[in-house]
Structure 1
Amino acid sequence: MDDLPLHPSAEAAIGTDEVVRDLFAAVAGAGGTAAELLDRLAPASSGAVARADLVTAASLESDRLGDVLVRPEHLVLGWARVTGSGPAHVREELQLLMADRAQARYEALRPLPRDDGARPPRAVLLAGVPGTGKSTLAEALARRLRAPVFSVDWQLGALVPFGALRLDNTMPLAETNLVASSARQLQLGLDVVVDATGHRRQLRDRLRSVTERLGGAFVGVECVCSDEEVQRRRVEGRERGIPGWHATVSWEHVLRVKSLWESWDEPHLVVDSAVETPGSALLKVVEAVGA
């Protein structure tokens, strides 16, 4: 493809010389997204890069992100591509940066006026690795509360046919979608149920923060299965029927997610599907939500 046009800020950063001597100094001085990205990467110097090679690589990165102009952040991605300096890592850091910016906007939302004495809305996060019964419990709770349930797998499945998911953006995109969906319901004063692995502490903190800023009450539920054989049979024998998404996952995937689980240090409810029936687990969660 032909090189995309340069945004004026990108053109100012690289100038017209055949060799770009210190891209990072120019980008950092311009501020904005690219400067924040460099703060995360903390590189010492970009070194000298041929201008033509940089522009071509940055154009490819811009096109990959669906933009029509080359911006300073695309120059940073292009530099990583040209120099082989971990382009995948730089791309992921940019996506994480965009997720942080989105979170700040959702936290800036304010509740809409509600009737005096109206009960605060509740956000219930059902988290756990595959096979612990979290989706079954989340859907039963949603029926009981007459509330929407936002499932990360259903949201991602809807994006697969459009080619929107990449290795660098799937996690930030999935978590931001869950926060966005929840924020609007809470802003309207409505309850919401979230069905997600929730292994990252940051997602749990972000859902709690948005809920409380919108005047709601956050309830965290960690779903576990203390019998590994039971859990494995569930995973390997299920067919979830989610359009666009996997029928199930491998046991190796379950073990990998377990290894990535970050401790949940804040008060929350733990439900063990190996020793509790679906009905008794639901009653425990309903009681916690009511409290």
Structure 2
Amino acid sequence: MHRFAASPALARLEWILDGLDGKPGWGADASDVLAAAFTAVVTPERYVEVTRGRAARYAPVVVVGLDVGETTARARILRRDGTVDVVTCVVETARPHRIATTWVEGLVPAGLTPGLPVDFTDHDLPSAATGARLVVFSGVPGSGKSTLADAAGAELGIPVFATDWLLGALTPFGGRHFEDPLAMAEEMLTTLALRQLLAGQSVILDHPTELVTTRERWRSLARRAGAEFRVVVCRCSDPQVHRARLEGRGRGIPGWHDSGDWSDVRQRLASFPWHGEALTVDTVQPHELALAAVLRHIIA
């Protein structure tokens, strides 16, 4: 039984995957499958030869992801070395929907600027952020970190980049189903922080920051850029108040949820607090007092 939505692009993509799988006799119909514009650049015989040659990298083909539209379909497939490549197939809109173009590339295409390092200590980076600050507001959901981060940003004129807003923006693109959304958020926040520091400007990051590796990464980024590193850990010492905040909040973040899971938060509390340079703020106290302590810590 077929379980995938039928589309012309998917049917042609499956034909390509058969070739990458080394299917016996594959390619005899290539002249009928490939569009004239395609064969004007690559002959059917050459395409069949190249595809059969690639079978050594992939056969047996294992598909680990699939994106299907009417005229474009993509499959993420495993290479024998365990890395992932993406096969893209674009077909003509008119019947019989011949293949207009197709290509195979790595999940992270070659030729791009290298990604950001885990440790910035030896990264080639100008010390452009002298006098600037990289400020991290850390804590579990409902601890009050976003409220304090936004207030501090408004008071000091520092932009605030928040995990929930970034991930909410990805929801229309399937972001709620990504394998590791917090890791994606960390990478986006790191990129945004780097961009700010390269411009000599301060930045506030609103992120749970439970992983020690994330803390060390951002500390090394600040140090390498010549910026001051400040950490504010938010906690709510009253479990009843914390739970009420978590389950009753309404933030209106597009694509994101308002309430949270109290049982999940209780488990995550074990990752806190930080040690060392962090200021720990109990948000049960009046907001004005907590904000005053935070501002003193940031500008010290």
What band does the TM-score fall into relative to the shorter chain?
0.5 to 0.7
3-state DSSP class of the match of 1:283? helix
Gaps of 5+ in 1: 19-49, 79-93, 96-100
Mean alpha-carbon deviation: is it higher for 265-274 or for 135-144? 265-274
Residues of 1 paired with 2:246 and 2:286: CA distance?
A: 18
Question: How far did residue 105 of structure 1 move?
Answer: 8.2
Residues of 1 paired with 2:139 and 2:291: CA distance?
A: 15
Contact 2:119–2:220 (Cα < 8 Å) also in 1: no
Which amino acid in 2 is paired with 1:272? D
Corresponding residue for residue 288 of structure 2: 279
**Which of residues 266, 269, 281 is equivalent to 2:276?**
266
1:1-291 paired onto structure 2 within 5 Å: 1=10, 2-3=13-14, 54-55=60-61, 57-58=62-63, 60-61=64-65, 70=77, 72=79, 75=82, 102-104=115-117, 107=120, 108-111=123-126, 120-259=131-270, 261=271, 264-274=274-284, 276-291=285-300
3-state DSSP class of the match of 2:115? helix
3-state DSSP class of the match of 1:239? coil
1:202-237 per-residue CA deviation (whole Å, 9 max, x = no partner) reads: 211111111111110110111011111111111111
Which amino acid in 2 is paired with 1:234? R
Which amino acid in 2 is paired with 1:147? I
3-state DSSP class of the match of 1:54? coil
Gaps of 5+ in 2: 1-9, 25-55, 86-106, 109-113
RMSD after superposition:
3.5
Which amino acid in 1 is paired with 2:136? L
- Relative to structure 1, the CA distance from residue 237 to residue 104 in structure 2 (aligned partners, 3 Å threshold; closer, same or farther) is same
What is the total number of aligned residue pairs between the two structures?
A: 224
3-state DSSP class of the match of 1:159? helix
1:111-163 per-residue CA deviation (whole Å, 9 max, x = no partner) reads: 3758xxxx521011010011211111000000111011000000000000111
1:99-120 per-residue CA deviation (whole Å, 9 max, x = no partner) reads: xx73318933523758xxxx52
3-state DSSP class of the match of 1:126? strand
Contact 2:137–2:146 (Cα < 8 Å) also in 1: yes
Contact 1:222–1:269 (Cα < 8 Å) also in 2: yes
3-state DSSP class of the match of 1:270? strand
Residues of 1 paired with 2:169 and 2:83: CA distance?
A: 31
Residues of 1 paired with 2:80 and 2:174: CA distance?
A: 22
Which amino acid in 2 is paired with 1:160? T
Question: How far did residue 175 of structure 1 move?
Answer: 0.7
Give the fraction of aligned pairs with identical amino acids, expressed as a percent.
Answer: 34
Question: How far did residue 165 of structure 1 move?
Answer: 4.6
3-state DSSP class of the match of 1:258? helix
Q: Which has the higher strand share?
A: 2
Q: Normalized against structure 2, the TM-score is what?
A: 0.64
Residues of 2 paired with 1:69 and 1:132: CA distance?
A: 39
Question: How far did residue 62 of structure 1 move?
Answer: 7.4
Contact 1:5–1:68 (Cα < 8 Å) also in 2: no
Residues of 1 paired with 2:287 and 2:255: CA distance?
A: 27
- Relative to structure 1, the CA distance from residue 5 to residue 73 in structure 2 (aligned partners, 3 Å threshold; closer, same or farther) is farther
Contact 2:128–2:198 (Cα < 8 Å) also in 1: no
Contact 1:111–1:186 (Cα < 8 Å) also in 2: no
Give 4+ residue runs of structure 1 displaced > 4 Å after superposition: 3-6, 50-53, 66-71, 73-78
Residues of 2 paired with 1:264 and 1:286: CA distance?
A: 19
Residues of 2 paired with 1:68 and 1:236: CA distance?
A: 39
Between structure 1 and structure 2, the one with the greater Rg is 2
3-state DSSP class of the match of 1:245? coil
Question: How far did residue 258 of structure 1 move?
Answer: 2.0
1:44-63 per-residue CA deviation (whole Å, 9 max, x = no partner) reads: xxxxxx998631x14x4476
Q: Normalized against structure 1, the TM-score is what?
A: 0.66
